[in-house]
Chains A and B, each alone.
Chain A
Amino acid sequence: MKSLLRTFLAAALTLSVASGAFAAAASSKLVVAFLPKSKGNAYFISCKAGAEKAAKELGVELLFDGPTDSNAAKQNEIVENWITLGVDVIAVAAENKEGISTALRKAQRAGIKVVTYDADAMPDARSFFVNQATPEGIGHALMDDAARLLNGEGDFAMIVATLTAANQREWQKHIEARLKEKYPKMKLVAVRPCDDLKDKAQSEATAMMSANPNLKLIMAICSPGVPGAAEAVKQAGKTGKVKVIGLGLPNENRRYVHEGVTDTVILWNTGDLGYLTIHAGVALAKGDLKPGAKSFKAGSLGSFAVQGDNILLGKPFAFNKGNIDQFNF
């Protein structure tokens, strides 16, 4: 037993010298830790690509870790680990607003700068939230794109997740305001819920087309709604006659975009989101970004507006036939 113990100790000491060398080499750089909701999620992997680009440009070390599933408890444990590792900046997409804030406040007390992106924590637990899209930005982008496709004239219908969900109501409000203000010759003939189900979106879209023979466009503002509506249009043989646009992810719409059923999928550029987040975190740590700033310049992406403690990523991004293959999430 004694010799076993001695072997253990010898192995432990040898390995420690080896890893000690690794650690010493890295500690001269600013360390930025980037936490996604879950690290296998393609959405966050594409955010990470932008974050890595920014880290390289700024000469900082980037740590990327997260739960393998969306797990609030694991997010806290990872942040607490980063605190004792003494990183300089922590950037978080919060799985649970309240839960993560406990750990983030602790990080701030330890002198670590905290920014959030994608999903915010409590305002007192971070300095800035990198806001990927305002409801107004999303509403205007969708309505403007619909008007562009129809040349500002004709009937269109909407598919929403539910008639009550807060974010859906908010987007719908801005879409209708834009319609009223800028496109008097366009008419919203129906708004139907799909309960966040692709099948239901498909049957609703089919029903909409038979009830409104003059329908020119379907706009879906929940992500399962876009491929659902596209499938309905395709099966009805109305490809090109009834256009489809909406808010969604490139991967689940790629096929329909290439087939010409769906014209545009609106979201934000996730790579830019990661890039801007890292730039904001590093500027905060270096003292270049302070509370109360009105704008913020992030490397090659240029200047971004700051509203209160929100850094706005700005206009949503339109995925279409020309660029959709550059994105994988």
Chain B
Amino acid sequence: MLLLYVLIAEWLFFYFAGTTVNRRGVTVGFGTLDRQFDILRHSCEIGLLALALTPVIITAGIDLSVGSLLGLCAILFGKFWHDGGLPIPIAATLALGCGALGGALNAALITALRLPPLIVTLGTYSLFRGLAEAITRGSVTYTNFPEGFLFIGQERWLGLPAQAWLFFAVAIGVWVLVHRMTFGRSFRAIGFSPEGARYAGLPVDRHIALAYILAGLIAALAAIIYTARLGQAKADAGTGYELFAITAVVLGGTSIFGGRGSVTGTLLGVAAIAVLKSGLASLPVVMRMNAAEEMSGVLTGALLLLALTAGVLPRLWSQRRARHAAVPKTLPTS
């Protein structure tokens, strides 16, 4: 709930501070509808990765490879279409399949070999990016995609940026999975105590595998949206996105130790980061300092640390109070 207030305050602040009237008498900046749509457009890919990571983190896992997998799927999609001569829908379906395969590789290493997710996905983080760079030798960029495909990333459909509809659909899907299906309860149980979940008869490995495969699939969808937005598929697509996505998930109240978390929290986290980033870039003061990107880095970090601190302080205080209350009783009276 606190995060919702932060988001509203953030938005109002930028609305008043970042909206101006320019020389030609036109209202410009943060308060324009165009800017709001840009924010939505720019947060779809990181938002999708954050949605992908939410179930994974609830199971006490982590997936550092989603950003690299985005890059790899973007390249494969471009290759299927450009070099393979396949129509866009088939190339996209194949790319989604490759994303799921990438997720399945993570899942297999984590569940079958019982390797820690952090290490496995650190490995695939390098592997997927490396493959993307190897396929293109670091220099090939796929461009010249047809208009109809670019529509998904650049135009509006039913009043909103077209890709936002895909994003919302995935958000609803993941929400149903985590909050309305037995899977979600199972994810939480696994995150809380994997051994306990196993003794309770839950198919732990299968459910963990599902979370990682789903993450791979969503990363591939993000890759397609990214390609449509920029009109290019290049090996550096989505570099560093996994860290923004993890930040959004944790900011949204999902515990990095697993067992607890919500999809709405993740969405609020994504929005809080996106509004902060875009809002800062529209503040005249920040613009004149040419430091929008650096400041958004600093403030995103500060926001995360503050949220984490605000999360643990009440518990610390109550523990302390309890200790203080307990001390006199244990001391000898004489």
Residues of B within 8 A of A78 (CB): 281
Q: How many angstroms between the C-alpha atoms of A29 and B294 in the bound complex? A: 26
Question: Which of A82-90, A187-195, A242-250 forms part of the interface with chain B?
Answer: A82-90
Tell me, rounded to whole Å, the shortest Cβ–Cβ distance linking B284 to chain A: 4
Given A99-B143, A99-B230, A102-B154; A65-B42 close (CB under 8 Å) = no
Query: In the complex, what distance in Å separates the CA atom of A17 from the CA atom of B20?
Result: 11
Residue A4 interfacial (CB < 8 Å): yes
Count of chain A residues with a beta carbon within 8 Å of a chain B beta carbon? 49
A69-77, A276-284, A297-305, A313-321: which one contacts chain B?
A69-77
Chain B residues whose C-beta falls within 8 Å of the C-beta of A12 in the assembled complex: 9-10, 12-13, 16-17
Question: In the complex, which residues of chain A have a beta carbon less than 8 angstroms from the beta carbon of B29?
Answer: 23, 84-86
Residues on A with C-beta less than 8 A from B226 are 73
CA distance A204 to B154 in the complex (A): 49
Q: Cα distance A85–B26 when bound, in Å? A: 10
Contacts of B288 in A (CB 8 A): 22, 26, 63
* A166 CB–B CB distance under 8 Å: no
Q: Does the CB pair A15–B13 fall under 8 Å?
A: yes
CA distance A31 to B28 in the complex (A): 13
Contact B234 A81 (CB under 8 A): no
Contact B20 A27 (CB under 8 A): yes
Distance in Å from the Cβ of A107 to the closest Cβ of chain B?
Answer: 12
Q: Which residues of B contact A8 (CB under 8 A)?
A: 5-6, 8-9
With a CB–CB cut-off of 8 A, which chain A residues contact B154? 102
Asked whether, in the complex, the Cβ of B285 is within 8 Å of the Cβ of A5, the reply is: no
A287 within 8 Å of B (CB atoms):
no
Q: Are B16 and A83 within 8 A (Cβ)?
A: no
- Interface 0/1 of A1-37, CB less than 8 Å to B: 1001100110111011111101110111111000000
User: Quick one: CB contact mask for B217-237 with A, threshold 8 Å, 1 for yes?
Assistant: 000000000100111101011
Inter-subunit contact A63/B287 (CB<8 Å) = yes
From residue B232, how far is it (CB to closest CB) to chain A in Å? 4
Most buried by A among B234, B287, B293: B287
- Closest beta carbon of chain B to A239's beta carbon, Å: 37
Which of B30-38, B91-99, B110-118, B162-170 contacts the other chain? B30-38
- Dominant SS at the B interface? helix
Contact-size category for B: 35 or more
Q: If the complex has contacts A65-B287, A86-B28, are A16 and B16 also in contact, measured as CB distance less than 8 A? A: yes
- The interface residues of chain B lying within 8 Å CB-to-CB of A307 are none
A80 surroundings in chain B (CB, below 8 A): 38, 42
Closest to A70 in B: B236
A67 to B288, CA, bound (A): 16
Contact B230 A9 (CB under 8 A): no
CA A11 – CA B331 in complex, angstroms?
A: 47
In angstroms, how far is the closest chain A Cβ from the Cβ of B315? 17
The total of interchain contacts (Cβ-Cβ below 8 angstroms) comes to: 135
Q: Are A74 and B24 in contact (CB under 8 A)?
A: no
Cβ A71 vs Cβ B236 within 8 A: yes
A39 touches B (CB below 8 Å) = yes
Which residues of A are found within 8 Å of B278, using beta-carbon distances? 81
A29 to B10 CA separation, bound complex (whole angstroms): 29
Min CB gap B137→A, angstroms:
13
Q: How far is the CB of B80 from chain A (nearest CB, A)?
A: 18
User: Within A67-124, which residues are at the interface with B (CB < 8 Å)?
Assistant: 67-68, 71-74, 76-78, 80-81, 83-86, 88, 96-99, 101-102
Is B234 a contact partner of A85 (Cβ separation < 8 A)? no
Within 8 A of A (CB), among B271-294: 278, 281-285, 287-288, 290, 292-294
B144 an interface residue at 8 Å Cβ cutoff?
Answer: yes
Rounded to whole angstroms, the CA-CA distance of A78 and B35 in the bound complex is 12
Nearest chain B CB to A147 CB, angstrom units: 35
Max count, chain B CB within 10 A of own CB: residue among A23, A80, A88: A23
Residues of A within 8 A of B13 (CB): 11-13, 15-16
Looking at the assembled complex, report how far the CB atom of B118 sits from the nearest CB atom of chain A, in whole angstroms: 25
Contact across chains for A85 and B1 when beta carbons are under 8 A apart: no
Q: In the complex, are the beta carbons of B12 and A65 less than 8 A apart?
A: no
Q: Is B181 an interface residue (CB 8 A)?
A: no
Q: Given A8-B9, A12-B9, A80-B38, are A102 and B143 also a contact pair (CB < 8 Å)?
A: no
Kindly state the separation between the CA atoms of A30 and B38 in the bound complex, as whole angstroms. Answer: 24
Determine if B322 is an interface residue (Cβ-Cβ < 8 Å).
Answer: no
- Enumerate 25 A-B pairs (CB-CB under 8 Å) in ascending A order: A4-B2, A12-B12, A12-B13, A12-B16, A12-B17, A16-B13, A19-B285, A23-B29, A26-B284, A65-B287, A65-B293, A67-B293, A68-B294, A72-B230, A72-B232, A81-B292, A84-B30, A84-B34, A85-B282, A86-B22, A86-B26, A96-B141, A98-B144, A99-B143, A99-B230
Interface residues of chain A, those whose CB is within 8 Å of chain B, are 1, 4-5, 8-9, 11-13, 15-20, 22-24, 26-31, 39, 63-65, 67-68, 71-74, 76-78, 80-81, 83-86, 88, 96-99, 101-102
